[in-house]
A = this chain, B = another copy of it.
Amino acid sequence: MKTPFSEGNVGLERLVFFSDAVMAIAITLLAIDLRLPLAQNPTAGQLPGLLLRLFPQFLASTISFFVIGSFWSVHHRLFLYIKRYDNMLTRINLVFLFLVVMMPFATSVLAGFGGTLIGVAIYAGVVAAIAFVHTLMWRYATQEHRLVDSDLPEGLVRAEYRVSLLAAGIFLASIPVALLSPYLAQFSWILWRLILSVITWRRKARAKG
């Protein structure tokens, strides 16, 4: 009898599928608070006020959409290299998904308390934790080529590793920044995202060249 954990098995596909579904739901639920209450006698004059009140929620949801989107993107890329799985990978992935599912909560904290140190710290902490568990998952999979092809270049392994750790570091580092200004901390996330894009870009270019 063939062991179910071997390469090409339907099991890995289902693990990836389940992860995709959870991330897709979490990313879509971000918008669930972004709805206007049903007004009784709506007039055009009320709308700007209602929209303005939703603005912090809108901003936080937008940031979270691209945070989860980025994690999906990296998860996607890593699982192109991961060819086998075992119970431990399933468990680490479950913890990863648990933290992703916490994102709508963290988003509501950011929306309501984005102007306070503790609000920004909670959000940054959750995102850093996701990035950290992601790094762990990659480390577990690639250590002694445990779950990846034996010819996966060491440079690629390390590059992914560094980018994941960097993401964790950026969000952790933003917590002391929030001591100065919570809004500066949020701005630093966007700034670093751009820098990270450039790094990835250069890594890709180097890989091609």
Which residues of A does B touch, CB under 8 Å? 1, 4, 9-11, 13-18, 20-39, 42-44, 46-48, 50, 53, 56-57, 62, 65-66, 69, 72-73, 76-77, 79-81, 87, 90, 94, 97-98, 101-102, 104-105, 107-109, 111-113, 115-119, 149, 151-153, 200, 204
Contact = CB atoms under 8 A, between A and B. Distances in A.
Interface of A is mostly: helix
Given A44-B118, A90-B73, A118-B44, A105 B35 contact: yes
B33 A101 contact: no
A153 B20 contact: no
Nearest to A114: B42
A10 B78 CA distance: 12
* Max count, chain B CB within 10 A of own CB: residue among A23, A33, A113: A113
A44 B76 contact: no
Given A28-B26, A101-B65, A102-B34, A14 B76 contact: yes
